[in-house]
Chains A and B, each alone.
Chain A
């Protein structure tokens, strides 16, 4: 497939390794991968604060970067940015071109589970990992059944990782409780945000896992800051990095 990468500003600027892993793993799977120019931010920091006016030009700039780009799918390794992009594109542009872009948007895990599954892994990843089920991915993108919901359960994140040889997947206590990042919440509500993150980091570390693995870079960055502040014996990894290492 021909895939256009959607690399949100945070990943581009602060976690390029996550983007590189995404690119490499998609290429290893035989896809042709391009990076449309002119991407900045999905507008989430503004719209999450209620400031839709301030978000308009940013959002439209991102949308324009993808309009008319020839590809089968637009893949993003950041769940909450993906959700925000979808919603904000829709909010600010009702054109068929915008809808065409929205229809092609996929979060990486979602893409690898629903659209183009990984046929086989070549290398083992013999580590214990504690999965970080970030809120927007599970509750807004349905990557996994939220713990509040009853009835049949599914978990795309686990399903995508499960076939890697040697991998040991565990979950922290209160498995999908929010880590407290929440965009500007992290700074507006510093005390509560940090306490939530601290609790989450400790719950991950208490599993005895070597890595916290997640699909949302912003949550991982926040957890990383708290893990290192408390000097916990665990490290963050993005799901793309784990998958790439096993291919």
Chain B
């Protein structure tokens, strides 16, 4: 597929480069932007219908902050209660350890096929290729996830992973992989075909795996939310069930989980609650239930007070839907499994192009959308500072920013060259900022230059 090809060819290019490519197909950009804005509008209606919305956000934020502050204690309580409920608990310090543990569990049960429901954590750990290399077939069972899995693409959004694909493209893909009629793009027809295909997978799977939306410490239970019921189909059919969670998923009790559940779906898709919100607190009769608790850089993140707040995130995707940059640059431009504002917040440290922290205008819409008040714009701004201090600036900033600093601090330099620039009807001074003027003028008309600065005008008209 052209899409997959593009994605691979772009490799680890800077965000602006990938976004530029995405922007060349303006019809697709408009359609992508509109589809996601529709979710934002639904979210506004759902949030607006609750008089206590802002209180819920405040509570959500406090609950997460409180749990993170006392994380060790809540994780221990959670583990103890899980064990008491007959759940096996594993700890993984990173993605590699997580994958190894999962493989060991599956191998000891001779699992050949695993049905998985959407989990950004397993994406983060790159679990699928790891298991496939070891002879275990992994089937993603969320419709959107299955689509991109068949297309051999990573998710481009954390809640609607195939949002970048048009129904015609899905039709072609299904024709190719599932044998549906050629040229068929009717969503109902395609969904039915996917459903029949997935049913076969559920019935022939040896084990099921899900992510975790919340882990309830005092009950030793995990909450799994899906709209298609696929997690439950998976977890209830085979006898072996696995649940992977980041250490940040734990909450004290069922009341705190309830607060987050009330905002999660509303903020994600505008639904009052996710269609299937299941609580698992023990294995099936004769079955086994495993919970794998993963750190993978989270403890490190908590050492920085500002970055730590990104762990309040409940992965509703609201910040992606509202983000004007994400909507126009697509999920694959971010060099990280998680795109958009929250992707920058948790991914910028690992971004070897050092560019995603700058893929943001700092408009702050994400921060106001967030149901747990993750201060995303502040975190992104902070990442830029950390990158600058480490000498890792993109777009030539290492070279020109100190010059701009000197330049702006000098009244004479600024006045002289701005004067010259005005006379020459150029927006910016001399050759120092030529690249700026070039990039500006490529997309916009240059400003009409005034005759004099305000300072000069003031001297003439207001001085005695």
Residues of A participating in the B interface, judged by any CB pair closer than 8 Å? 7, 9, 11-17, 19-20, 23, 35, 38, 40-41, 43, 45-46, 48-58, 61, 135-136, 139-140, 146-151, 174, 176-178, 180-197, 199, 221-222, 224-226, 228-229
Contacts and interface: CB of A to CB of B under 8 A. Distances in A.
Contacts of B147: none
Nearest to A7: B454
B249 interface: no
Interface in B407-464: 408-411, 414, 418, 421-422, 427, 435-436, 439-440, 442-447, 449-450, 452-455, 457-458, 462
Contact of A12 (B357, B367, B455): B455
Given A189-B19, A189-B359, 10 more contacts: A51-B397, A53-B405, A58-B408, A136-B364, A146-B364, A149-B368, A185-B358, A187-B436, A187-B440, A188-B395
Nearest to A194: B443
Contact of B360 (A57, A136, A185, A226): A185
B325 A189 contact: yes
Interface in B10-27: 15-16, 19-20, 23-24, 26
Given A147-B44, A222-B444, A225-B447, A178 B363 contact: yes
Contacts of B462: 23, 35
A46 B443 contact: no
Interface stretch (B127-135, B165-173, B221-229, B385-393): B385-393
In this complex, which of A13, A43, A57 has the most chain B Cβ atoms within 10 angstroms of its Cβ?
A13
B54 interface: yes
Nearest to B456: A16
A176 B44 CA distance: 13
A57 B367 contact: no
Contacts of A55: 405
A13 B368 CA distance: 34
A224 B427 CA distance: 13
A57 B405 contact: yes
A16 B452 contact: yes
Say whether chain B's binding surface is mostly helix, strand, loop, or mixed. helix
Interface of B: 15-16, 19-20, 23-24, 26, 29, 33, 37, 44, 47-48, 50-51, 53-54, 322, 324-325, 328-329, 357-365, 367-369, 381, 383-389, 393-395, 397, 401-402, 404-406, 408-411, 414, 418, 421-422, 427, 435-436, 439-440, 442-447, 449-450, 452-455, 457-458, 462
Contacts of A15: 450
B388 A50 contact: yes
Ranked 8 nearest A-B pairs via Cβ: A225-B444, A182-B361, A50-B384, A54-B405, A194-B443, A50-B388, A178-B363, A148-B368
Contacts of B401: 46, 49, 51, 54
Contact of B385 (A52, A182, A195): A52
B443 A229 contact: yes
26 contacts: A9-B414, A13-B414, A13-B422, A14-B449, A40-B414, A46-B404, A48-B362, A48-B384, A50-B393, A52-B385, A58-B408, A135-B364, A148-B368, A177-B324, A178-B361, A178-B365, A184-B358, A186-B439, A187-B440, A188-B16, A188-B394, A188-B439, A190-B439, A192-B16, A224-B445, A229-B445
